[in-house]
A and B are shown apart, each in its own frame.
Chain A
């Protein structure tokens, strides 16, 4: 984006006030386009767009976002029935994909390009141009010194040239015949503008890398009970969000089995119950027929194979149960995933038994890894580890509604056609079971709490282009350092014969504030003087 120098120059659209004059001359379409382009690429517009971008990002941090926390979105929508349609119209549930958010950053990018391209041209010319000619009156520059020496001007200038080169100035010797004087002009700090340009270009590079990831990447989540396996195909995922250009055939043919899961909790101290570490052991094959390899997944230690990264993002309990129906047949047997509700791993879950006869059975309730009970709280979990696991369930019978064709969540019991088993007193029949216990259901049938398995939540994802984005940010920082800390500086040395001696003038001009210009000019003087000084 433009600096002041550019703006006060010929191309400075932003120095002209944005309000048109009272009687604007009619603009041809070309002029109008040019005017619009100038407006768009002006620094003012860029600043306004930057602020708009910052403002537009805010709602996404307050309103739950569809592609980040879809469960929270559902809860929010249930809790705010009037706001929801308005929010939906505004795209507030997916701010970062919304039209208005995209519009802002696309305009910003256009503005960026519109500012980089002309500046690249200017920079290219500047790079090839010689340092600016020596001004006539060096004494008028911010810092200047003059002194006399015995040697001939040519000798002095040669020394000045060498000294300036050593100080990494770009030097040109000015021997214009018009003036009877010779001088050296030098400039340094070209990297400032180079850094500036690099920074702005790298913003585009980052965006390209990010866009590639968004378009071709994918991110899926799956809950796997320890001991069970997974093979990488769409149908295996619990949730899956692909990029818009993602092809299912891009999924690498990965498969794995979760062999084991370990978690350790602090057992004492003020943070008792906080996990200290957890890890899952996997046997995986990067493709069918490949050798089986072992890996230990931990937080911060994903499994990275070509085209997919596997992350351990969560864990919980899956109590194993055996349900017998009214006829005494085993209608369900196996682990059921319960979702943790808080740090104590008090977990909520639903057991659906569609195969039970004569009526379908359903259970809903809590799994408490370390059972505790107080009159005030009722049953609760004292500790996240499964030290004294107890299930406390309510049982229902009737129709689970699974044949209606409507999709159902496995964590949600549709009770519209289910009836609660009640005690003769009319109170719900709450089934509390420790491991190994069996509870009989009033209408016949039973449920047995067989044991506790762990489940792990794994995320499998791929974001191509992340290397590009990273390289972009790193280049951007490099450019930023250049644009913030390189100080462009110009210096001139003039030497001419006067009264049998050589009068040397040295002057400097900083193009950014705050540098130690005097120090450099003084050191330059000393280098040029070489012989004993005779200052005036």
Chain B
């Protein structure tokens, strides 16, 4: 099998993965569309937690303990309700399709790496970084799905994947080829992998924070209906905690990517570990904003809404670094080979 074969395989796989993501999106849309007419059971989180405790005094399962607020899950003892059942079924279909799409996505990323001679890590330019970064988002979502009951996020995640992959194919595509000499380093593997993982975590965290803001606003205005997407989102406290967890996971990785691996590589490649290169500056800005987020969450008067807004600002700086710097200031940046 030749590199050219892998190259075209990768291109087809990306298209195919996008289609499956779109199908998963449709399934989640159906899930939420149906739920518009079905009111959420009135049991509040506290009640349900109390019920659970009463029902099973032995340790609550080790995997997913005290997060019963993920509303869409139908309690097993509930009376059979066709609507609830089909809502849940569509949700499950959505997740299953996302898993399939994720596997195809993985194959696209791997074959993209094999498509150049010699084979290399598949993130040497912006198209490849987008492809790998969106893969990071899906992986992050699927990994945390069970643990933090994130199925309510499926709609957003699949929509994000479809849109971003489409943009990548339309605007960023470049044929596979060898790396420029500046990227001939194992730090490419370390630095960019860490950046992809952290970006994936921050993207998922930003989704949670955005939904938190939307639901929080609706709650304060009293416009949350008894049915529909917002009603079925977990409570704001759980959204907030999920956002924090994901950010807390991403922040040390980002610190490593931007402030350890990046400078070490820069020291080898450019002769100075910190050059105030636009990309470095913006990575630093992102780091500072997320540091502010972590602090804000522990400060009276800033936690909740303000912290969530800070998290979104952080994600905006991350996106600007990725898109803005590459397109507007690419010429002045030593990271310009990362551009198109």
10 A-B pairs in the complex with CB atoms less than 8 angstroms apart: A15-B300, A47-B292, A270-B175, A276-B181, A278-B181, A309-B271, A311-B270, A484-B248, A513-B241, A519-B60
The answer, yes or no, to whether A473 is at the interface (CB within 8 Å) is yes
| Cα distance A516–B63 in the bound complex, in angstroms | 10
Select which of B255, B270, B274, B303 is within 8 A of A476 by beta carbon: B255
| Cα distance A96–B325 in the bound complex, in angstroms | 19
Q: Verify A62–B329 contact, CB threshold 8 A.
A: yes
Residues of A within 8 A of B58 (CB): 522
Q: Verify A266–B177 contact, CB threshold 8 A.
A: yes
Q: Verify A518–B268 contact, CB threshold 8 A.
A: no
Select which of B178, B187, B245, B300 is within 8 A of A276 by beta carbon: B178
The answer, yes or no, to whether B190 is at the interface (CB within 8 Å) is no
Q: Verify B185–A477 contact, CB threshold 8 A.
A: no
The answer, yes or no, to whether B295 is at the interface (CB within 8 Å) is yes
The answer, yes or no, to whether A534 is at the interface (CB within 8 Å) is no
- Count residues of A near B (Cβ-Cβ below 8 Å): 68
20 more CB-based (< 8 A) A-B contacts, given A54-B285, A299-B181: A7-B299, A51-B289, A54-B317, A57-B281, A60-B281, A61-B281, A271-B175, A271-B177, A459-B270, A459-B271, A461-B271, A470-B260, A473-B255, A473-B259, A473-B263, A480-B252, A484-B252, A513-B241, A518-B66, A519-B62
B228 to chain A, nearest CB (A): 27
If A44-B299, A302-B268, A477-B255 touch, whether A68 touches B276 (CB-CB below 8 Å) is yes
The answer, yes or no, to whether A14 is at the interface (CB within 8 Å) is yes
Q: Verify B295–A69 contact, CB threshold 8 A.
A: no
Residues of A within 8 A of B48 (CB): none
Find residues 257-281 in chain A having any chain B CB closer than 8 Å to their own CB: 266, 269-271, 274-278
The answer, yes or no, to whether B267 is at the interface (CB within 8 Å) is yes
A19 to chain B, nearest CB (A): 14
| Cα distance A136–B59 in the bound complex, in angstroms | 25
The answer, yes or no, to whether A219 is at the interface (CB within 8 Å) is yes
Instruction: Identify the closest chain A residue to B298 (Cβ).
Output: A3
| Cα distance A208–B64 in the bound complex, in angstroms | 44
| Cα distance A417–B325 in the bound complex, in angstroms | 43
In the A-B complex, the 10 residue pairs with the smallest Cβ-Cβ separation, listed nearest first, are A311-B271, A61-B278, A271-B177, A61-B281, A522-B59, A300-B185, A50-B292, A459-B271, A54-B288, A270-B175
The answer, yes or no, to whether B1 is at the interface (CB within 8 Å) is no
Find residues 365-416 in chain A having any chain B CB closer than 8 Å to their own CB: none
Residues of B within 8 A of A60 (CB): 276, 281
B118 to chain A, nearest CB (A): 10
Find residues 271-312 in chain A having any chain B CB closer than 8 Å to their own CB: 271, 274-278, 298-302, 309, 311
The answer, yes or no, to whether B163 is at the interface (CB within 8 Å) is no
| Cα distance A53–B284 in the bound complex, in angstroms | 10
Q: Verify A474–B260 contact, CB threshold 8 A.
A: yes
If A54-B288, A523-B59 touch, whether A480 touches B65 (CB-CB below 8 Å) is no
B148 to chain A, nearest CB (A): 9
Instruction: Identify the closest chain B residue to A522 (Cβ).
Output: B59
The answer, yes or no, to whether B273 is at the interface (CB within 8 Å) is yes
Residues of A within 8 A of B294 (CB): 484
Instruction: Identify the closest chain B residue to A274 (Cβ).
Output: B180
Q: Render A511-536 as a binary contact track against B, CB cut-off 8 A, 1 for contact.
A: 00110101100110000000000010
Q: Verify B300–A58 contact, CB threshold 8 A.
A: no
| Cα distance A302–B265 in the bound complex, in angstroms | 11
Q: Verify B273–A469 contact, CB threshold 8 A.
A: yes
B217 to chain A, nearest CB (A): 22
Find residues 480-521 in chain A having any chain B CB closer than 8 Å to their own CB: 480-481, 484-485, 513-514, 516, 518-519
Residues of B within 8 A of A476 (CB): 255
The answer, yes or no, to whether B275 is at the interface (CB within 8 Å) is yes
Residues of B within 8 A of A313 (CB): 270-271
The answer, yes or no, to whether A72 is at the interface (CB within 8 Å) is yes
